[in-house]
């Protein structure tokens, strides 16, 4: 029996503009009649000629409203001429896994249902992100096209008669408007786990954990009730033989247990506390959709994400994937600490500085100019897929610990001995009013064209910095020449220290100011100092210069990392 499709009339909704990483709004916004359908139709329409007869991947982090969204997407794909939808069991696929599956099965792209590290539940956030055929987030050209379509949409196509059971693994076949249409429900973890086993030597990591040649390494992995739970169970408990108490919060919950599923020192405080007690030698946490990671050593020794990616880039000999494919180049997002630049310089490799957001790494990887990259926001990854990858980062770290036969802290100390230390911190001021934040950014931006700023000395206590240059970061993609403007105001000091201000592009309402501070030290007596103490003078200088408290009314940040 051929199922019938319908064209339904609709009207545009304001603000369906994808941000740093897809469209993120409150669940209640997505639940409005036609809201989700409109946006999905714009994604499908933006695919143009590559839509008819294609295969798409659909999955998400299991948050509230995910299953409803999967159902809508399947019915709309059927009506829009898609040939096949590959969907994760119960709608569950981590963001890195979606990227892996798109690439493995060479599909036209995929739709990721997540608001990443934003809280979930009926009163929290949902998100929809489109990934293209390379497995990575759609670039600006595509997201702008989606947004433009959303402003003029008058109808969408749907086939309500496609009733699909996503709790059953296997193929479900339909005939829609006389065309064949297939939904294939896949195991949420298989493809990803197989790939990780190709990239890393699981035997070596297993030996490290069980202590084959010394003391066992006790690990504690906190999945924060996000999507990584089933991946953690399979990889760390079943494949790598870690004991059952090595993994916590591995049941995915629609509201992440009411917490912020963000792996940082504030929101993963439980992990920090457990590690401080000293029983564990290694700790890690992931965000809701599994692309972010936090790495801790014994007694909660904190590895900044900017250092983490630099260490991985410096130790690729211990990772089979890089021995096989080589390391083609390195990159970081602009606000990320510059530790990786030093590794690139020593190894004679290219290093790229891109705007905030993983989508900017994709072109460089596709052009074989980039292998390892990271963001200060707990994003670390490589060209094995086109998303950042939390579990990959942990496996990379464990491989390095096994190879170097060192603790996390020893690896860092040895890294700083070679390269010096880029002290880094980020202050977030969440949920501010938008208006005053925009004004503050405009004032900072104007400093860039004020000639009297260069050479100006700024002091706090006994520290004095001299401004070398102020600009608003602009990026020209070296592969396709597209330009991204207004990516954050940088205040560059004459000694290489940096202050960066930008507004978040992932919030679902209001504004979040991010202040990034970095200072480089080559004197080894400073390496073990507390980063917050070292950076305090520069933080105070940044706050005075920006008049942040006057503009936002905030005297303290919401989160410090």
379 binds, among ligand G1P, Zn ion, none (CB under 5 to 8 A by kind): ligand G1P
Instruction: Indicate the residue among 112 and 235 with the shorter CB distance to ligand G1P.
Output: 112
Residue 99 or 377: which CB sits closer to ligand G1P?
377
**By C-beta, is 289 or 341 nearer to Zn ion?**
289
Which partner from the list ligand G1P, Zn ion, none does 358 bind, CB cut-off 5 to 8 Å by kind?
Answer: ligand G1P
> Which does residue 506 bind out of ligand G1P, Zn ion, none, counting CB within 5 to 8 angstroms by kind?
ligand G1P
Q: Give start and end residues of each alpha helix (H) in 356-515.
A: 362-366, 390-404, 408-419, 434-447
- From the list ligand G1P, Zn ion, none, partner contacted by residue 37 (C-beta under 5 to 8 A by kind): none
Q: Among 94, 99, 116, 504, which one carries the catalytic annotation?
A: 116
**Smallest separation, CB 23 to ligand G1P (Å):** 13
Judged by beta carbon distances under 5 to 8 A according to partner kind, the member of Zn ion, ligand G1P, none in contact with residue 377 is ligand G1P
Alpha carbon separation from 482 to 43, 357, 360, 363, 475 (Å, rounded) = 21, 15, 10, 11, 8
CB of 210 to ligand G1P, least distance (A): 34
49 phi and psi, to 5 degrees? -65, -20
Give the residue among 155, 164, 2 at the shortest CA–CA distance from 72: 164
Q: Is 291 in the site for Zn ion (CB under 5 A)?
A: yes
Residue 116 is a catalytic residue: yes
- 114-153 binders of Zn ion (CB under 5 A): 116
351 strand-pairing partners = 330
Contacts of 14 (CB under 8 A, 6+ apart): none
Select 37 or 291, whichever has its Cβ closest to ligand G1P.
Answer: 291
Q: What are phi and psi of 129, to 5 degrees?
A: -130, 140
Report the greatest alpha carbon distance in the chain: 80
- Residue 540 in 3-state DSSP? helix
Q: Which residue has the tokens 């294939």?
A: 184
Minimum gap (Å) between residue 151 Cβ and ligand G1P? 22
Q: Which of Zn ion, ligand G1P, none lies near 195, with the C-beta cut-off 5 to 8 A by kind?
A: none
Strand order across the beta sheet in which 293-297 lies = 247-248, 219-222, 282-286, 293-297, 302-303
Distance CA(526)–CA(447), nearest Å, equals: 32
239 Ramachandran zone, left/alpha/beta (phi>0; psi -120 to 50) = alpha
CB of 356 to ligand G1P, least distance (A): 5
Q: Which is nearer to ligand G1P, 45 or 144 (CB)?
A: 144
Taking the complex as a whole, the smallest distance from the CB of residue 102 to Zn ion amounts, in Å, to: 17
Closest distance of CB 455 from ligand G1P, Å: 31
Q: Is 314 in the site for Zn ion (CB under 5 A)?
A: no
Comparison of 16 and 94: residue with beta carbon closer to Zn ion: 94
- Return the number of the residue (297 or 507) whose C-beta is nearest Zn ion: 507
Q: Name residues contacting Zn ion, limited to 60-119 (CB under 5 A).
A: 116
Summarize as ranges the residues that interact with ligand G1P (CB under 6 A): 20-21, 116, 333, 356-358, 375, 377, 379, 504-506, 514
Q: Which of 488, 499, 514 is nearest to 545 (CA)?
A: 499
Q: State the binding partner of 289 from Zn ion, ligand G1P, none, CB within 5 to 8 A by kind.
A: Zn ion
Residue 235 beta carbon to Zn ion: minimum distance, rounded to whole angstroms: 18
First and final C-alpha spacing in the chain: 57
Burial of 327 (0-12, 13-18, 19+ CB in 10 A): buried
Point out the residue whose Cβ comes nearest to Zn ion.
116
Residue 357 contacts which entry, ligand G1P, Zn ion, none (Cβ below 5-8 A, type-dependent): ligand G1P
Minimum gap (Å) between residue 285 Cβ and ligand G1P: 15
User: What one-character DSSP code corresponds to residue 287?
Assistant: -
- Contact 469/496 with Cβ under 8 angstroms? no
**Local structure of residue 238 (DSSP, 8 states):** I
498: β partners: 492, 518
- 377 or 399: whose CB is closer to ligand G1P? 377
Residues listed for the chain: 561
Contacts to Zn ion from residues 271-290, by CB under 5 A: 287, 289
Could you give the CA distance from residue 261 to residue 273 in angstroms, rounded to a whole number? 17
Write the CB contacts of 394 (distance below 8 Å, at least 6 apart in sequence).
Answer: 221, 284, 293, 295
Chain residues in the site for Zn ion (CB under 5 A)? 116, 287, 289, 291-292
Could you list the active site residues?
116
């Amino acid at each position: 029996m051929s199922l019938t499709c319908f064209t339904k009339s609709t009207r545009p909704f304001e603000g369906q503009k994808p941000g740093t990483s897809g469209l993120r709004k409150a669940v209640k916004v997505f639940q409005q009649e036609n809201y989700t359908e409109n946006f999905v139709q714009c994604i499908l329409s933006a695919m143009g000629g590559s839509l008819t007869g294609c295969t798409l991947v659909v999955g998400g982090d299991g948050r509230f409203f995910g299953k409803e969204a999967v159902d809508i997407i399947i019915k709309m794909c059927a009506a829009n001429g898609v040939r096949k939808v590959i969907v994760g069991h119960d709608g569950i696929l981590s963001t890195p896994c979606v990227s892996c599956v798109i690439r493995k099965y060479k599909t036209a792209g995929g739709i990721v249902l997540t608001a990443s590290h934003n809280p979930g539940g009926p009163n929290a956030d949902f998100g929809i992100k489109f990934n293209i055929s390379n497995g990575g987030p759609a670039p600006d050209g595509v997201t702008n096209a989606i947004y433009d379509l959303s402003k003029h949409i008058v109808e969408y196509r749907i086939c309500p008669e496609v009733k699909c059971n996503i709790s059953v693994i296997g193929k479900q076949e339909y005939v829609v408007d006389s065309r064949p249409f297939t939904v294939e429900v896949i195991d949420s973890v298989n493809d990803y786990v197989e790939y990780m086993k190709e990239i890393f030597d699981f035997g070596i990591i297993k030996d490290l954990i069980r202590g084959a040649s010394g003391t066992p390494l006790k690990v504690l992995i906190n999945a924060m009730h996000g999507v990584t739970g089933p991946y953690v169970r399979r990889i760390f408990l079943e494949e790598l033989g870690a004991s059952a108490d090595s993994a916590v919060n591995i049941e995915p919950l629609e509201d992440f247990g009411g917490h912020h599923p963000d792996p940082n020192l504030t929101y993963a405080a439980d992990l920090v506390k457990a590690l401080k007690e000293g029983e564990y030698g290694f700790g890690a946490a992931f965000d809701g959709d599994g692309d972010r990671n936090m790495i801790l050593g014994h007694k909660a020794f904190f590895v900044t994400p900017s250092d983490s990616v630099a260490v991985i880039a410096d130790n690729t000999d211990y990772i089979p994937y890089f021995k096989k494919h080589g390391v083609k180049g390195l990159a970081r997002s602009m606000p990320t600490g510059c530790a990786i630049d030093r590794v690139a310089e020593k190894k004679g490799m290219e290093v790229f500085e891109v705007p905030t957001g993983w989508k900017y790494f994709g072109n460089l990887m596709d052009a074989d100019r980039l292998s390892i990259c990271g963001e200060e926001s707990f994003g670390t990854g490589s060209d094995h897929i086109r998303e950042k990858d939390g579990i990959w980062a942990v496996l990379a770290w464990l491989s390095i610990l096994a190879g170097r036969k060192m603790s996390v802290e020893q690896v860092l100390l040895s890294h700083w001995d070679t390269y010096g230390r880029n002290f880094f911190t980020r202050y977030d001021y969440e949920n501010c009013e938008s208006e005053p934040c925009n004004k503050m950014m405009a004032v900072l931006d104007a400093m860039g064209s004020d000639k009297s700023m260069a050479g100006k000395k700024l002091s706090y206590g006994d520290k004095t910095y001299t401004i070398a240059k102020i600009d608003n970061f602009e990026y020209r993609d070296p592969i396709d020449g597209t330009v991204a403007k207004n990516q954050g105001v940088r205040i560059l000091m004459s000694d290489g220290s940096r202050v960066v201000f930008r507004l978040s592009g992932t919030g679902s309402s209001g504004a979040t100011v991010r202040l990034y501070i970095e200072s480089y030290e080559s004197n080894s007596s400073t390496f073990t100092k507390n980063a917050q103490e070292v950076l305090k003078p520069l933080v105070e200088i940044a706050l005075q210069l920006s008049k942040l408290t006057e503009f936002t009314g905030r005297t303290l940040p919401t989160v410090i990392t």
